[in-house]
Amino acid sequence: MNKKILQTLVERKSSGLKSFALLIDPDKVRDSGELVKLINIAVENKVNFFFVGGSLLTGNNLHHVIELVKRNSQLPVVLFPGSTMHIDVSADAVLFLSLISGRNPELLIGQQVIAAPILKRSSLEILPTGYLLIDADNHTTVSYMSNTTPIPADKHSVAVCTAMAGEMLGLKLIYMDAGSGARFPISPRMIAAVRRSIEIPLIVGGGINSVDKALASLRAGADMLVVGNGIEENPNLLIEVSDAINNLNQELDIH
């Protein structure tokens, strides 16, 4: 990898290129052979990043999954940790998340203080990320585990001001998440409102289980999509969303 991940994301964003991250939840990996197939499909279809993690890891699979991804692809592996327990230094980078939509000090700064010395000793690239949970009309694991109130789906101005504050505090990415397996993804109007209010790359995920939903989020201004659950349920979705993103990116190259 010759370019740092954050720099790549910023450059892609400023050229208008959309990015795609496949989220692998280590708890849901039952069969290494199946995972290797999925990794190969992801590589063939130009997925840009692998995110690995989940809000609650009950198994002991994190390291194994990272190793499998690294053995089978050159793509960056980014940790998406639910807690400091989910750090594995064999990944390439870590989303250093601060849950700025919530008011739980433990997830705003407490866990980060505990993780800091471990991360400092590692060679992981640190991606300082303002994490916004958006209430998509259901109770996802992450909203329960974080013990915070997500931003209501129709309170666009709250999301906008939260994202702006995150950028002003120096965070380098904003990740708006409806939570894994959310019944509804974040609305395009909310994504567009946040996109207009910040300069840093905007990551969007949660409940994107169709190409239409993926395209709606991208057209509204998401710079990167994260898809997990939808691909676990329908592996073809990976190819469909990749095609949609690659077509959008090509259109951009042509014009």
Binding residues for ligand 1GP, rule: CB under 6 A, are 23, 177, 179-182, 205-208, 226-230
The minimum distance between CB 20 and ligand 1GP, in angstroms, equals 12
- Report the 10 Å Cβ neighbour count for 255: 6
**What are the C-alpha distances in Å from 215 to residues 18, 130, 169, 178, 185?**
11, 23, 30, 16, 12
For residue 45, what are its two tokens?
């279809």
Is residue 164 within 8 A of residue 184, CB to CB? The reply is no
**Would you give the distance in Å from CA 253 to the centre of its chain?**
25
Nearer to ligand 1GP, 166 or 230 (CB): 230
The minimum distance between CB 117 and ligand 1GP, in angstroms, equals 26
The minimum distance between CB 46 and ligand 1GP, in angstroms, equals 19
The minimum distance between CB 156 and ligand 1GP, in angstroms, equals 19
130 three-state secondary structure: strand
Segments of the chain assigned E as strands = 19-24, 49-54, 77-81, 93-98, 125-135, 151-152, 173-177, 202-205, 224-227
Give the helix ranges, DSSP H, for 27-84: 32-44, 62-72
Nearer to ligand 1GP, 102 or 228 (CB): 228
- Report the 10 Å Cβ neighbour count for 12: 17
Nearer to ligand 1GP, 115 or 208 (CB): 208
Nearer to ligand 1GP, 150 or 206 (CB): 206
Nearer to ligand 1GP, 66 or 97 (CB): 97
Nearer to ligand 1GP, 35 or 168 (CB): 35
The minimum distance between CB 121 and ligand 1GP, in angstroms, equals 27
The minimum distance between CB 141 and ligand 1GP, in angstroms, equals 9
Radius of gyration of the chain (CA): 17
CA dihedral 138, 140, 145, 150 (to 10 degrees): -50
Nearer to ligand 1GP, 24 or 198 (CB): 24
- Maximal CA-CA distance, the chain: 48
- Tell me the residue nearest to ligand 1GP as measured from the CB: 205
For residue 67, what are its two tokens?
């190793």
The minimum distance between CB 199 and ligand 1GP, in angstroms, equals 22
